[in-house]
């Protein structure tokens, strides 16, 4: 009896593996009758195209095959082979900005929850990115370079295991079978592209191949990756697509999809696929083209009258454009577009006025993207060509705690810098101009750690050293989730790592300037750290670094005030009264003491931004402070 029971269990297990893996297969030429589970912005168009995202900022989408698929043997734990092919297109919402891409993903049943927009492609988020508990295998088709994820460029294909840092990646393209030449493909454009993804469960190898829609499958894949996916897969998984947009939008389409477990997916017939929506203006009829010469005389009169109107308009929107700026074309905005976006730089759109210009809110007409436009004077000690080159280089910075600089425009003695719009505005307005509701301590501490992370990226983690030169609360902006983002790079300067910054022109804001900066005018990473220390005290104390309205000199300079209370063992008395008692004492003391440490008189005594981040994370103990001397020019320990 026992022997028969054992035999029955063995046969049942084998049958489960056989049924759960062999019979799964489907082919969709369009998705009107597809068995899909849609989430977020995903939807099926009337002609059958699966549209993952539309021209709406900061959204995610997911489209999964509704039936869970058995990817792994229940008896021996090995992963099955599978094959899939699909046709996609990514259409940018802006002619010079490609937006974000999409993924083909195999994930836990129902999809991994909590996927974020922008660089996370709707698949992961900051808390789960890279964790082995994700059980996710994805092929990313990425149209934006994110340095944080070590992307090789802004047009690449990658295989991702449990996170956004690709295990293997390559610039998008295919190998032409005629001569084995590698030919590049632009992922974001008006053309459909076909992708093949194949995994051999015995050889433990995954291949990714791609080509234009009407080109047969190349013999040589673009990516080959040896990996035992049984270490990643759960027994039952979901399979499908994810996509996302950020501040820059694009529309991701899937025209057809074929999938097969333990076999080869059926090829998609390009003639059975739905047509992409028309992109750009409709082609003019030949009759109109032939008839144009016949009406040229009438048109000449109309054109002549229009020239008068055009000249007047051109003078109104005249820009300064030199030949060398052609190389920066994608980063240059038209003044006319910025003028209409800000409603003629209306006072109603004015966000604020600083020492270097006025900032306006705007909405670009073509993409509906929200922007902030800063108008600054043209004056610069270095040549304008070098200055614009630095602005364009800074525009390549990508970090979650930096405000993206999108581009620039030059016109009649002024420079216009275009940033991504931050809905909650600057931190100093919330701290000082709008105290109710006041930011709670947890939110302030999060902003502090975010700004520290952004400065560390500028000083050490980007390809060049960036000295911000104007770190302060008014240049820290809050996004829709009240995350702190360091902005206003109009004064920032770039240097090669390991070189000595040579700028001696004094810029910055009184109260944030390091003692050596006021003497020699030289900005370094140490002067940025000093300004960061003043910023820390400002956020915790709810007071500006220098308050001329206070009569007592010891209280007018915030650094002196905090230092004085620390000497008396009463440092917590400097905490912003708006916080009441609702704060974590250990965290507040840490930030106040770190602020004093960053504001030391001697530059070499200040911590680096990497040390400051470790202190704030609790990964490194803060050194003990000992009093030697204090003055309004800085603290000596």
SS (H, E, C) 138-162: EEEEECCCCHHHCCCCCCEEEEEEC
Tokens of 24: 């799964």
Neighbours of 546 (CB within 10 A): 16
CA 69 to chain centre: 33
Domain with CATH 2.60.120.200 in the chain: 20-272
182's CB contacts (< 8 A; 6+ apart) are: 173, 174, 175, 176
pLDDT of residue 100: 87
Q: Is the pLDDT of residue 189 over 90?
A: no
Domain with CATH 1.10.510.10 in the chain: 422-636
Q: Are 193 and 88 contacting, i.e. CB atoms less than 8 angstroms apart? A: yes
| Range of weakest confidence among 105-119, 265-279, 483-497, 611-625 | 483-497
For 63-92, the pLDDT digits (tens) are 999 999 999 988 888 999 999 999 999 998
Q: Is the pLDDT of residue 184 over 60?
A: yes
Q: Annotate 546-567 with DSSP letters as a single string.
A: B-TT-SSHHHHBHHHHHHHHHH
**Where is pLDDT greater, at 216 or 366?**
216
pLDDT of residue 20: 45
Q: Are 116 and 129 contacting, i.e. CB atoms less than 8 angstroms apart? A: no
Q: H or E segment at 181?
A: strand 181-184
For 386-420, the pLDDT digits (tens) are 667 667 777 788 899 999 888 888 877 678 888 89
Answer whether 0.85 is exceeded by the pTM.
no
| The architecture CATH gives domain 422-636 | Orthogonal Bundle (1.10)
Share above pLDDT 70 across residues of the chain, in percent, rounded to a whole number: 81
Query: Binning pLDDT at 50, 70 and 90, where does residue 367 land?
Result: confident
Q: Is the pLDDT of residue 290 over 70?
A: no
Domain with CATH 3.30.200.20 in the chain: 295-417
For 439-480, the pLDDT digits (tens) are 899 999 999 999 999 999 999 998 889 898 889 998 999 988
pLDDT of residue 13: 43
Protein fold of 295-417: Phosphorylase Kinase; domain 1 (3.30.200)
Q: Is the pLDDT of residue 374 over 60?
A: yes
Q: Is the pLDDT of residue 243 over 90?
A: yes
Q: Is the pLDDT of residue 631 over 50?
A: no
pLDDT of residue 7: 42
Query: Binning pLDDT at 50, 70 and 90, where does residue 9 land?
Result: very low
Mean pLDDT of 542-565: 82
For 32-57, the pLDDT digits (tens) are 999 999 999 999 999 999 999 988 88
Residues forming the active site: 470
Helices and strands (H and E) in the chain: how many? 13, 29
Pick the CATH number of 20-272 from 2.60.15.10, 2.60.120.200, 3.40.50.80, 1.10.510.10: 2.60.120.200
Mean per-residue pLDDT of the chain: 84
316's CB contacts (< 8 A; 6+ apart) are: none
**Where is pLDDT greater, at 636 or 408?**
408
């Amino acid at each position: 009896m026992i022997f028969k029971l054992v035999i029955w269990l063995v046969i049942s297990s084998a049958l489960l593996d056989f049924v759960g893996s062999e019979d799964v297969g489907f082919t969709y030429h369009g998705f009107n009758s597809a068995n899909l589970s849609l989430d977020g912005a995903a939807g099926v168009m009337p002609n059958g195209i699966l549209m993952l995202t539309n021209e709406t900022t900061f959204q995610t989408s997911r489209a999964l095959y509704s039936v869970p698929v058995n990817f792994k043997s229940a008896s021996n734990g090995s992963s099955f082979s599978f094959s899939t092919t699909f046709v996609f297109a990514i259409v940018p919402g802006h002619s010079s900005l490609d937006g974000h891409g999409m993924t083909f993903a195999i994930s836990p049943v129902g999809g991994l929850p909590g996927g974020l927009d922008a660089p996370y492609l709707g698949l992961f988020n900051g808390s789960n990115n890279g964790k082995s508990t994700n059980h996710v295998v994805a092929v990313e088709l990425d149209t934006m370079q994110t340095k944080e994820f070590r992307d090789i460029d802004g047009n690449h294909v990658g295989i991702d295991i449990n996170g956004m840092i690709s295990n293997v990646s390559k610039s998008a393209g295919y190998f032409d079978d005629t001569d084995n030449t590698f030919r590049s493909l632009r992922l974001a454009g008006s053309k459909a592209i076909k992708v093949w993804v194949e995994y051999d469960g015995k050889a433990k190898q995954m291949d990714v191949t791609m080509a234009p829609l009407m080109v047969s499958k190349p013999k040589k894949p673009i990516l080959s990756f040896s990996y035992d996916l049984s270490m990643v897969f759960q027994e039952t998984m979901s399979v499908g697509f994810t996509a996302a947009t950020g501040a820059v939008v694009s529309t991701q389409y899937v025209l057809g999809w074929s999938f097969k477990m333990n076999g080869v997916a059926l090829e998609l017939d390009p003639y059975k696929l739905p047509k992409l929506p028309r992109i750009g203006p409709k082609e003019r009829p030949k009759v109109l083209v032939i008839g144009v010469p016949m009406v040229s005389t009438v048109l000449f009169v109309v054109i002549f009258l229009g020239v008068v109107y055009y000249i007047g308009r051109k003078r109104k929107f005249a820009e300064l454009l030199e030949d060398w700026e052609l190389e920066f074309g994608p980063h240059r905005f038209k003044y006319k577009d910025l003028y209409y976006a800000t409603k003629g730089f209306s006072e109603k759109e004015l966000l604020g006025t600083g020492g270097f210009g006025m900032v306006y809110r705007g909405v670009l007409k073509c993409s509906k993207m929200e922007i902030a436009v800063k108008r600054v004077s043209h004056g610069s000690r270095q040549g304008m060509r070098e200055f614009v080159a630095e602005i364009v280089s800074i525009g390549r910075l990508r970090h979650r705690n930096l405000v993206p600089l999108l581009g620039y425009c030059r016109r009649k003695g002024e420079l216009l810098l275009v940033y991504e719009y931050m809905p909650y505005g600057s931190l100093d307005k919330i701290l000082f101009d709008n105290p109710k509701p006041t930011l709670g301590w947890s939110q302030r501490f999060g902003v502090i750690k975010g700004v520290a992370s952004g400065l560390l990226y500028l000083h050490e983690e980007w390809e060049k050293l960036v000295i911000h030169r104007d770190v302060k609360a008014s240049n820290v902006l809050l996004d829709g989730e009240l995350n702190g983002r360091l902005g206003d790079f109009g004064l920032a300067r770039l240097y090669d790592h390991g070189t000595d910054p040579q700028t001696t022109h004094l810029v910055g804001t009184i109260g944030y300037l390091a003692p050596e900066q006021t003497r020699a005018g030289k900005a370094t990473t140490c002067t940025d750290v000093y300004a960061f220390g003043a910023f820390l005290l400002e956020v915790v104390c709810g007071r500006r670094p220098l308050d001329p309205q206070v009569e007592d000199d010891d209280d007018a300079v915030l650094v002196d005030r905090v230092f004085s209370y620390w000497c008396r063992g009463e440092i917590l008395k400097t905490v912003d009264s708006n916080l009441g008692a609702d704060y974590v004492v250990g965290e507040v003391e840490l930030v106040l003491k770190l602020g004093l440490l960053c504001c030391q008189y001697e530059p070499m005594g200040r911590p680096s931004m990497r040390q400051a981040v470790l202190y704030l994370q609790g990964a490194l103990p803060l050194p003990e402070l000992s009093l030697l001397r204090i003055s309004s020019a800085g603290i000596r320990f």
